[in-house]
Structure 1
Amino acid sequence: MIDIQNITVQFGDRKVLNDIEIQFNQGEMIGLVAPNGTGKSTLMNVIMNYLTPTSGKVGFRDGLVYSSKTNEVKIHQFVSMMPDQSDLYNHLSGRDHLKMFAMMWGSDNKLIDETIEVLNMGHYVNKKTGTYSLGMRQRLCFAMQIVANTEIMMMDEVMNGLDPNNVEIISRLLMKKKAEGKLIIIASHLLDNLEKYADRIFLFNEGKLVDANEIIDGFSHAKIKTIRVKNLDEYIKRDLQQSYPSIEQQTLMNDMTLLHLPHSEASLLSEMTTFLVEKDVTDFNFGKVTLNDLYAIYYHEVI
Structure 2
Amino acid sequence: MTIEIRPITRAEAKDYLRVLPWANGLPQEEPEPSAWYAGRAANPPQRKATPEQLDRYADELLTDWFRPQAAFVDGKIAGGSAIVSVDLTLPGGRQVPMGGVTSTGVLPTYRRRGLLRKVMAAMLDDCRERGEFLAGLSASEATIYGRYGFAPATFQHRWEVRRTDVAFRTPFTDPGTLDVVDGASAAAIWPVLHEQVRAVRVGEVSPLPGKWSGLADGGLPADGRGPAHHLIHRDAGGQVDGAAIFRLPWSPDPDYAGELQVDAFEALNHDAYRALWDYCSISTSPNEWWRHGGRWMSRCAGC
Fold shared per TM-score above 0.5: no
TM-score (norm 2): 0.28
Larger Rg: 1
TM-score (norm 1): 0.28
Higher helix share: 1
